[in-house]
Amino acid sequence: MRAAAIAFLAGILSVQQLAALPSLYWTLLLLPALVLSLWHPRWLPLVFFVGGFAWITWRAELILQDHLPPALEGRDIVLEGYIADLPQPTEYGSRFIFDVVRARADDAPVTVPARVRLSSDRQINVHAGESWRFTVRLRRPHGLQNPGGYDYEAFLFRNRLRATGYVRSEPSPVRLDVTSAAYTIHRLRDWIGDRIRAVLGENNYTGLIVALVNGDSGGVTDTQWETLRRTGTLHLVAISGLHISLIAGVFYWVVRWLWSLPGVTVLTMPAQFAGALGGLLGATAYAALAGFVIPTQRALIMLAVAMGAVLLRRRLPPSQLLAVALVSVLVFDPFSVMAPGFWLSFTAVAVIVYVLHGAPNVASVWRKFGYLQLAIAVGMLPLMLWLFQRISLVAPLANLVAVPTFDALVVPLTLFGALGAGFGWDHVAAFAFRIAAALLDFLWRLLDWLSSLDYAQWAQHRPPGWTLVCAVLGIAILLAPRGWPGRAIGLVWLLPIVLVRPPTPLHGEVWFALLDVGQGLAAVVRTQNHVLVFDSGARWSDRSDAGRAVVVPYLRANGVSRVDTLLISHGDRDHAGGAASIAADIPVTRTVSGAIDVLGDTCHAGMSWRWDDVDFMVLNPVGSPSRRNNSSCVLHVHSRFGSILLPADVEKSAEQHLVRRSRAELHADILVAPHHGSGTSSTPEFIDAVQPAYVVFPVGYRNRYHHPDPAVRSRYGERGARQYDSTNSGAIEFKVRESGIDVSEFRARHRRYWQAPPAP
């Protein structure tokens, strides 16, 4: 079964690497595979491999068929349906999942995806399970695509969200007097969350307690998330497999004990059977509080496999149980493989199964628990580096204290308080919640201290795949049972994942990347020993900006640990919005700015420096910093192999001044189109002076300015420039070297079948 489970997983993963879904005719291979397996069992893994391949292909095809017709993008559509989950507060209002019952456009029925993700402003107050009529504008799933960045399109696909959009304020949304029993659990979750907030008030840990009870983590602050992240304790907050297993264990032993008390009851059903059923029911009820989100579904399936073995009186080895659970989870939801939680949960359980039989036989429970925490931290190291490019070095110590505090005290107290609130016992609920908050306050002092340590976490680039294989082998040797010869050799197998570095430019070369930050600008220029970041993208909200979401992950993915110069061209939000996040996450040696509200050296024409035989020169502005587009810093980068011009948001008048004043310095092989390719820029005279071989447009998908302007595209096309835009290409990377200029489009290089097709 172990080999079959791995083969089933491999079949699913093989489809996930494809740019387009394969034909379902491939499922016909199941017939010869079945014949071979009947002839000899060694062919059974082939059956599971083809089965996994066919299963995810069919399921993915069903999801892709539920799409938004391109003709409906950007049009007013009237939707009626239900708020399908707890709304999440945002800086400007709320965001929620909407189950569509009917849709009309221009008074005619239209077909839209059954489930969409909507945003609304502060003028409407929605709750889970309510029925509403909205006028919305939708668009197909589209996300930013960058090395090291978050794949938003994969998130939407995994959650079966085939369109996103926003609610129009006019005509006004209408709440409908319609209810559905299908949303009873979500209404209960919403009500419990409100009760907890009413009882606890403005307590610092209200958001954490709500998250532990009903899975709504919207109230957890950014500071708390960062503390949990740096200490490796994120798994304690969400209703995850750890908490569900705890509840199942409690219910198992309580129900087993109660069932055996009368004595005669065990004659009709063994106590362990009753305990297994009670544990499964208790865990199911707790998962319901989280709305049966995907992580809880996965945990319940794994638990059902374990309890099923008890009910069927089968004593399976732990590794066999894990294999059955793996296949069961993948059959239920093959797209689990797209979520980091899938890999984290199964890897953690696999490490526990592997090390428990070889754990040292020590008398102290705490020493055994400490050994297990250390083993999990070591065993998860390669996966954490692969998924997140950083690991918490203080996680074993933090979890040694935090796990028993949460599982033995905080979680039971919060559930007891929720039960009290449900029965209207406000004094009981308040007592339980306040004790839980006091315990969290005590624990948080330790977590904050561990998080503040300079060595709390270790960050590096994403390792190559072959180093991950070596590291897994090294971990297996290191964690082998006591007495296994040469366990220290495992350290040697770990060296590649630590020592192998991403490639860097040679002397005199320039590697340039225009990052995909939507309607904004962020670019990275690298020489052999130096890094310059030109602009930082937009700030989208108080909790999110392109610096943190795009630029920093890109730098880490390429092994960059320090930025030598951060140059902010001017003060527009879509250029300077992420600067603070970059400076907070990665050391910046020097900041140069044309913005009046960004600290650092003032950007002005005539500034120049030389790195690794590559020349950098600022051509604009001539005067003092200003918020005007024409006062943007214009940077020219020149090497003996080629040149790059970054003119930021300059428009017609500034272009004319540049042509008159600096025509000789304007020529460049690679040009970032001025002002995102707007019709007020890229004049014929400017293009003729630059003579670019490549022009790139930093634009957002279906942006409201309709950049780039068709007339501008035509001008560049008439002059033979090859054109790229970040909407269709994602991050665009150029390597300017002796052999020529190599161009790489991230979206094309990493295309997957669920991603948006290129625009015509």
pLDDT in tens, 410-463: 888 988 888 887 777 878 888 898 899 999 999 999 999 999 888 888 877 788
Q: pLDDT band at 241, cuts 50/70/90?
A: low
Whether the per-residue pLDDT at 163 is higher than 70: the answer is yes
Is 500 or 532 the better-scoring residue by pLDDT? Answer: 532
With contact defined as beta carbons under 8 Å apart, do 210 and 109 qualify? no
User: Quick one: average pLDDT of 9-23?
Assistant: 92
Give pLDDT, residue 626: 61
Helix (H) or strand (E) holding 465: helix 465-478
Q: pLDDT band at 567, cuts 50/70/90?
A: very high
* 157 exposure class (CB count in 10 Å sphere: 0-12, 13-18, 19+): buried
Give pLDDT, residue 157: 95
Tokens found for residue 269: 């059903």
DSSP string across 617-670 = EEEE-SSS--SSGGG--EEEEEETTEEEEE-TT--HHHHHHHHHHHHHHH--SE
Upper half-sphere CA count for residue 81 (Cβ side, 13 Å)? 25
Q: What percent of the chain has pLDDT over 90?
A: 45
* 45 exposure class (CB count in 10 Å sphere: 0-12, 13-18, 19+): buried
The 10s digit of each residue's pLDDT in 489-512 is: 888 988 898 888 889 999 999 999
* First CA to last CA distance, the chain: 48
Q: pLDDT band at 600, cuts 50/70/90?
A: confident
Tokens found for residue 616: 């950098």
Among the listed residues 558, 374, 365, the one whose alpha carbon sits nearest the alpha carbon of residue 475: 374
Q: pLDDT band at 629, cuts 50/70/90?
A: confident
* 25 exposure class (CB count in 10 Å sphere: 0-12, 13-18, 19+): exposed
| Gap between the Cα atoms of 754 and 162, Å rounded | 10
Whether the per-residue pLDDT at 2 is higher than 90: the answer is no
| Gap between the Cα atoms of 489 and 477, Å rounded | 7
SS3 67: coil
SS3 204: coil
Q: Give the Å distances, CA to CA, from 103 to 64, 110, 115, 262, 306.
A: 19, 6, 12, 58, 44
Whether the per-residue pLDDT at 141 is higher than 80: the answer is yes
Give pLDDT, residue 758: 64
Q: pLDDT band at 569, cuts 50/70/90?
A: very high
Say if strands 457-459 and 390-392 run parallel, antiparallel, or are unpaired.
Answer: antiparallel
Give pLDDT, residue 221: 86
| Gap between the Cα atoms of 424 and 429, Å rounded | 9
With contact defined as beta carbons under 8 Å apart, do 291 and 185 qualify? yes
For the beta sheet containing 510-514, the strands, ordered from the edge strand earlier in sequence to the opposite edge, are: 601-602, 588-593, 563-568, 531-536, 522-526, 510-514, 732-737, 740-745
Give pLDDT, residue 216: 83
Among the listed residues 599, 671, 663, the one whose alpha carbon sits nearest the alpha carbon of residue 635: 671
| Gap between the Cα atoms of 141 and 729, Å rounded | 15
- Find the angle CA(304)-CA(309)-CA(315) to the nearest 5 degrees: 150
Is 578 or 92 the better-scoring residue by pLDDT? Answer: 578
Whether the per-residue pLDDT at 225 is higher than 80: the answer is yes
| Gap between the Cα atoms of 513 and 524, Å rounded | 5
Say if strands 563-568 and 531-536 run parallel, antiparallel, or are unpaired.
Answer: parallel
Average pLDDT over all residues of the chain: 88
| Gap between the Cα atoms of 743 and 642, Å rounded | 13
Radius of gyration over every alpha carbon of the chain, rounded to an integer in angstroms: 29
Helix (H) or strand (E) holding 473: helix 465-478
Among the listed residues 617, 620, 682, 621, the one whose alpha carbon sits nearest the alpha carbon of residue 643: 617
* 363 exposure class (CB count in 10 Å sphere: 0-12, 13-18, 19+): exposed
Long-range contacts of 617-625 (CB under 8 A, 24+ apart): 617/665, 618/592, 619/658, 619/662, 619/665, 619/666, 620/647, 620/650, 620/654, 620/657, 620/658, 621/594, 622/657, 625/570, 625/571, 625/593, 625/594, 625/595, 625/596
